[in-house]
Amino acid sequence: MMIKLVDISKFYHTGSVTLAALDKVNLEIKNGEMIAIMGPSGSGKSTLMNMIGCLDVPSEGRYLLDEREVSRLKEDDLSEIRNKKIGFIFQSFNLLPKLTALENVELPLIYRGMQTAERRQSSVAALNMVGLSDRMHHKPTELSGGQQQRVAIARALAGNPPVILADEPTGNLDSRSGVEVMEIIRDLNEKGKTVILITHDMEIARQARRIISIQDGCIVKDEEVA
Amino acid sequence: MGVWQIIKLAIAGIRANKMRSFLTMLGVIIGVAAVIVLVSIGEGASKSVTDRIEGMGSNLISVTIRGNQSSATLSYDEVQGWKERAGIQGLAPIVNGNVSVKYGSNKYDTGLEGVNEEYQEVRNHKVQAGRFILPMDVSLRQKVVLLGTEVSTELFGNMNPVGETVKINGTNFKVVGLLEEKGSESMGSNDDKVLIPLTTAERLLNSKGIRSVYVQAESPEMVDLVVTQIDNILFRKTNDAESYRVFNQAEMLSTVNEVTGTLTAMLGGIAAISLLVGGIGIMNIMLVSVTERTREIGIRKAIGAKRKDILRQFLIEALVVSSSGGIIGIILGTGGANLLGSIMAMETVVSLKIMALAFGFSLFIGVVFGMYPANKAAKMNPIEALRFE
């Protein structure tokens, strides 16, 4: 899986003023990389994440995902790509409160049209991987923040997507849970997933092997870390 | 996402918001129940009137002479002459009036009909005790009488009147039979009357000529032919189409059915409006629900739900609410119709057809009024939906 952004721009029009949230961004992320995207709020990092995550389409430029042009796709086609290729981890977990942990993990597989037995098996395996097999019939409200984020990671993993997109994954967690969650994410990368972290926390960003800094819609720094 | 799973989720959602769901359903419940109750009243009215008309006798044609000129009336022989015409099974000419009947010290005012022996078959009367009027009674002007059940009860109580003698307008008559109870019909009560031979009645009431004849056709197909023939005879006789009336039962039935059909449709229409209002209630709550669950929609879309997945989810939820309301409405409506039937002593008919129709309509309402909110949900932008607090 290779991510390639070519001259990506995103404009927002407010009245007569046009704002460029992204301004001709070029970025290439190789298979199995673990990168961190850093920047202050309003820098365009969220827009960039939405772009990479196929939640949004650019105003200009090209986005090649595995050499497939995805920047001009329709909404439902983007849904399918998100479903199969990208696992999302959000700062606020974004679990459905009325579903159990297991049902939450199953959700992307349901939208993929997977049969019940296979779906159940994959979901249980994913929950095992994050160490929550004993909590799978609990509702999110019955779980701690760290456990909820681990359920969210299991949900991102269940469909076995090649890319994991994590937006401030430790932002709402205490430091101990944060460390645990980062361990799982690093472990995923070691098992071959491409991991993209969006963060403003240098401590978190340092755990990646490559850090990209973004400011005013432009990439200002792209450095490898040891 | 499986339909069954969505239904389960929708039911869970309904149970989580019991009060709100109940109020949402209430519109549909009231609508469906109202449709069923009102239509059952309409159909009940139609059935009871139809039953009464059919109870008058089958393939019946009634001939009435209007006006007061005695020249226009028919004689018994004249009427008997119609027998030669094709398609006529029975002829029952009638002379009627009001009389007072006395038995001992009991006196009762009632209607009297002078009839012949064919009346029994033509008008579909049954005799529960004794005998009917015989041809001999008519030709010999016998002073015999059959009592309707109401008359008998008034004069004799529970006693069997057959064999007793009553005074009709002062003349002695021997009671030879008691009619079976028949109930009311469009021509008045069948039980509050006495029957005597036609010839005797002409003399008793001092009236000449027959003003009313019941004609029975051989079969439903013959009714029109018989009507035409009698019409011709009477027109030739009177030269005035306004001076008589030939009325056939089938025509009466179709007129009544038309009227009650309109009534039923009107009642159903009024009830359908309340169903419509219920549908608007569903739409209102669904719109609130969609807004409340914006974030959920965003999450579902982010992990790969397509528009049709979201659309289906909300549509099924609307359908679960409206069909649950429909089922409760059917139960309440059927119970209400039966209760009304027994309390108000009126006939109500709850047909399976109307239940299916009301339920189908509630589903239709669910789809129609669920579509707009569901579509709104399906079209949400995932990024904005995820940002929603």
Rounded to a whole number of angstroms, the distance from the CA of A85 to the nearest CA of chain B is: 10
- Lowest-confidence range among A83-92, B38-47, B296-305? B38-47
- The band of B69, judged by pLDDT with boundaries at 50, 70 and 90, is low
- Asked if B309 and A108 come within 8 Å (Cβ–Cβ), the reply is no
- The band of B144, judged by pLDDT with boundaries at 50, 70 and 90, is very high
Task: Give the residue from A149, A153, A151, A158 showing the smallest Cα distance to A126.
Answer: A158
Looking up tokens 């047909």 gives B351
Rounded to a whole number of angstroms, the distance from the CA of A127 to the nearest CA of chain B is: 17
- Asked if A55 and B13 come within 8 Å (Cβ–Cβ), the reply is no
**How many Cα atoms occupy the beta-carbon half-sphere of B229 within 13 Å?**
17
- Lowest-confidence range among A130-144, B3-17, B324-338? B3-17
B288-295: average pLDDT: 92
Question: For residue A88, what are the CA distances in angstroms to A82, A171, B228, B304?
Answer: 9, 15, 87, 10
B108-126: average pLDDT: 88
- Lowest-confidence range among A71-80, B72-81, B127-136, B299-308? B72-81
Residue A87's closest chain B neighbor by CA?
B303
Taking the CA atoms of residue B327, residue B333, residue B334 and residue B338 in that order, the dihedral angle to the nearest 10 degrees is 160
- Asked if B302 and A80 come within 8 Å (Cβ–Cβ), the reply is no
Rounded to a whole number of angstroms, the distance from the CA of B359 to the nearest CA of chain A is: 30
B303-323: average pLDDT: 90
pLDDT at residue B1, as a whole number: 56
B319-325: average pLDDT: 90
Whether residue B298 is predicted with pLDDT greater than 60 in this model: the reply is yes
- Asked if B304 and A75 come within 8 Å (Cβ–Cβ), the reply is no
Closest in A50, A90, A111 to B304, CB measured: A111
Predicted-assembly ipTM surpassing the 0.90 threshold: yes
- The band of B185, judged by pLDDT with boundaries at 50, 70 and 90, is low
pLDDT at residue B187, as a whole number: 56
Angle of the B18-55 helix axis to the B249-292 helix axis, nearest 10: 180
- pLDDT above 90 covers a percentage of chain B that reads 27
- The band of B173, judged by pLDDT with boundaries at 50, 70 and 90, is very high
CATH topology of domain A3-14+21-224: Rossmann fold (3.40.50)
B238-253: average pLDDT: 81
Q: Checking DSSP bridges between strand A194-199 and strand A163-167, what pairing results, if any? A: parallel
Q: Which of B3-12, B48-57, B303-312, B347-356 ranks highest by mean pLDDT?
A: B303-312
Whether residue A7 is predicted with pLDDT greater than 90 in this model: the reply is yes
Domain boundaries, chain B: 3-52+254-387, 60-218
- The band of B71, judged by pLDDT with boundaries at 50, 70 and 90, is low
Tokens of A88: 């999302």
Rounded to a whole number of angstroms, the distance from the CA of A53 to the nearest CA of chain B is: 9
Question: Distance between CA A108 and CA A110 in Å, rounded?
Answer: 5
A94 contact B CB<8A: yes
